[in-house]
Amino acid sequence: MSDAAPPSRTGRLTAAVTAFGQMGYNARHRFVRDVRYLGGVGYLVGDTLAWVVRALVFRRVKLGASALASQMVRVGVRSIPIVVLIQVFIGIILALQLAPTLEDYGSLEKVADIIGLAMFRELGPLLSAVVLSGFAGASIAAEIGAMVESEEIKALRAHALNPIRFLVVPRLLATVIMMVGLTVVADVVGVLGGLLTSWLVLDIHPWSYLDNTQVALFYRDFFTGLVKGGVFGVLIAAIACYEGLNVTGGAEGVGRATTSTVVKSIVALIATDCVFTAVFFIFKL
Amino acid sequence: MSGMRVVPEESQKFVISVRQLAKLFADQQGRPVRVLDDITFDVYPGETLVVMGGSGCGKSTLLNCLIGELRPEEGGIFYQTRVMPQPINILDAREEQLNEVRKRFGILFQSGALFNSMTVAENIALPLKEHSYVDPSIIDIVVTLKLQQVHMLPHRDKMPAQLSGGQKKRAGLARATALDPEILFYDEPSAGLDPVTSAAIDELIIDLSKKLSVTSVVVTHEMDSAFRIADRMVMLDRGRVLRIGPRGEFERIRDTAPERLADEDERLIHQFLNGKTEGPLTDAAGMSEYEKWIVTG
C-alpha cells in the first residue's frame, strides 16, 4: 500500500488544466500538420499541372513520352486483371444481395438497373481507385522514397533536372489516364458479373438484362463516373509522390511512406467521393 | 542572402567564392544551432581543393550549400565560369539561373547515386538527352567516350545493382562529366572502398583534372586520399574554417612534432591528420564533450 498522500484539490485542478492545455496544444499541432500536408499535396499538383502546361506551350520543355508510356503500363495495364476480378465479384455479390428483396416487390428485373447505376456512378471508379491506391500508389511511394534515400533525387537536381517534371509528371498523368481507362473496364466488367449471375442463378435472360441496363443508364452516369475516376487518379498519384518525396529515416521511412500512402489515399478517395455525390445530387447530375 | 551584402574582391579570378557563409539548423528543442559559421574561401581555376574535417564538422552541409541543395541563412556563394564570366551569387539566383550554374558542374555522390532503373549508359546519356538536342547517335558516342575515360566501357549495359562500389563511383564520375563541366564536386570519393580501389579512384580524379582542366572540390576525411589529390586544403572544425592553405603547409603540420607547432590550431590539425586520440581536438572540451558534439552536431 502506498504511503503517498492523495493529491490536493489544487493539485487535481492544476493537473486538469495542464491536461486540457496539452490537448489543445496537440490539437493545434495536428491541425497545423494536416493543413501543411494538404498544402504540400496541393502545391505538388499545381506544380505538376504547371509543368504540363509549359510542355504543351513550349516545345523545349520535355515531358518524356517513353516515361509516360512505361508508367501507364506499370500503373494501369498491370492492374487490369485484379480490377477485372474484383469488379466481377462485386457484380455477382450485388446481384445475389439485391435479388431476394427485389423479388419480394415483384421487380427482380430491376436488378440490372441498380447494378448498372451502382457500377457506372459509384463502384466502378471508387473500387478501381482503391485497388490502384494499393497496387500503384504504394509502389510509387516506395520507388520515389528509395530514390530519395539513395540520393537519386539529389542527383537529379544536381543535373539541373526538376524531380517534379522528371518523376511526378509522368506518374500523375499515367495514373489519371489509366484510372479513367480502368473505370470504363470496371463498369463493363461489373455489369457483366451481374448479367452472368442474373442469367445463371436468377433466370433473367441476358438480352432483357442488357435492355434494362440500357434504359436505366444515361450518358451523364457514364461521364460522372469518368470524372470521378480522373480526380481519383490525381489524388492517388499526388499523395504517393508527396509521401515518397518526403521520406526520411532510411528503409523504415520508406515502409512508413508506403503504408501512409494507402491509408491516406483511401480516406481521400472516400471523402472526395462523398463530396462528388453531394454535388451531383444537388445539381441533379 | 540576408543581412549585410558580401561580395568577393573583384581583382581575384575565382571559380567559386564563398563569403561569410552561415548555416543554421534547429536542435531537438527547436533552438537554432550554427552548423556553419563565417565560412570564407575561394576556389581558383584548375585547382583541386580538399575540404576535410572530423565527423559532424559541417563538410557535407558545406557541400550541400555549394551545390544549391541547402540554402544558407547568411553569406554568399559566387560562381564565375567560362560561360558565365559575371559572378553569380546562387543564393540570389532564380531557379533557372541556378540550373544554368548546375549545368556547369558535376557531382560524384558518396554512393554514386546512379539511377537504379537505368543502365550505366542510360545514366550517362540522361543529362545529355535532357539538356541538348543532339542526335542519339552523337549521344551514344559521347557516352562511349565518357565510359572509356573511367575504364567502364565493358559495363555499359549493366544495371547499377550489378556493379561493385568502385564501379558505381566510376560510373557516377562518368555521369558527372557528361556535360563537360568546369567544376567537379566529390563527396567522400574513397568512402567504403578498399585501399587499392580507393587509390585507383584518386588516380582517376587527378587524371580527369589534368585532361579536362576542371576545378575540383573534394570533401573527404580519408587523409591518404586527401594528400594524394589536393593542391590546397581546407580544415573545418565545428563549423568554422580552421586553416586553408597549400598541401605543403598541411604536410608540414602533419610531420612536425606537436610541441614544435606554433599554436593550438596547428596542434589540432596535427592530431586530426595523424588520427591520434590524444590532443587538443579531444582535450579542449574533454572526450565526452567531443563525442557529444559528433553525435548531436
Q: If we measure between CA atoms, which residue out of A198, A201, A214, A223 comes closest to residue A280?
A: A223
Could you read off the pLDDT of B87-129 as tens digits, one per residue?
899 999 898 889 999 999 999 998 889 999 899 999 999 999 9
How close, in Å, is residue B239 to chain A by CA atoms?
A: 23
**Phi, psi (degrees; rounded to nearest 5) at B217:** -120, 115
pLDDT exceeds 80 at position A84:
yes
Residues of B in contact with A152 (CB under 8 A): 113-116
Cβ pair B69:A158 closer than 8 A: yes
Q: Determine contact, residues B206/B229, Cβ cutoff 8 Å.
A: yes
Per DSSP, helices labelled H in A137-168 are 138-149, 152-158, 163
Q: What is the DSSP letter of B158?
A: S
How close, in Å, is residue B20 to chain A by CA atoms?
A: 23
Q: Is B116 on the interface with A (CB under 8 A)?
A: yes
Residue range B38-60: mean pLDDT, rounded: 91
Residue with cell 561569410: B20
Could you read off the pLDDT of A130-155 as tens digits, one per residue?
999 998 999 999 999 999 999 999 99
Could you read off the pLDDT of B226-256 as tens digits, one per residue?
999 999 999 998 889 999 999 999 999 999 8
Minimum-distance CB partner of A151 among B109, B131, B179: B109
Angle between helices A65-75 and A169-200 (to 10 degrees): 30
- Closest residue on chain A to B70 (Cα): A154
ipTM of the complex, rounded to two decimals:
0.82
- Closest residue on chain B to A61 (Cα): B130
Give the number of residues written for chain B: 297
Could you read off the pLDDT of B19-39 as tens digits, one per residue?
999 999 988 888 888 999 999
A interface with B, Cβ–Cβ below 8 Å: 62, 146-147, 150-152, 154-155, 157-161
pLDDT exceeds 80 at position B3:
no
- Compute, in degrees rounded to 10, the torsion defined by CA atoms B271, B272, B275, B279: 30
Residue range A49-54: mean pLDDT, rounded: 92
For all residues of chain A together, what is the average pLDDT? 92
How close, in Å, is residue B72 to chain A by CA atoms?
A: 17
Strand-strand pairing, B105-108 and B183-187:
parallel
> Which helix or strand (DSSP H or E) is residue B131 part of?
helix B120-131
A116/A219 Cα distance (integer angstroms): 12
For the entire predicted model, the pTM comes to 0.84
Q: What is the DSSP letter of B247?
A: H
Residues of A in contact with B69 (CB under 8 A): 154, 157-158
A61/B119 Cα distance (integer angstroms): 24
Cβ pair A62:B130 closer than 8 A: yes
pLDDT exceeds 70 at position A23:
yes
Minimum-distance CB partner of B111 among A150, A157, A158: A150
> Which helix or strand (DSSP H or E) is residue B141 part of?
helix B136-149
B287/B277 Cα distance (integer angstroms): 9
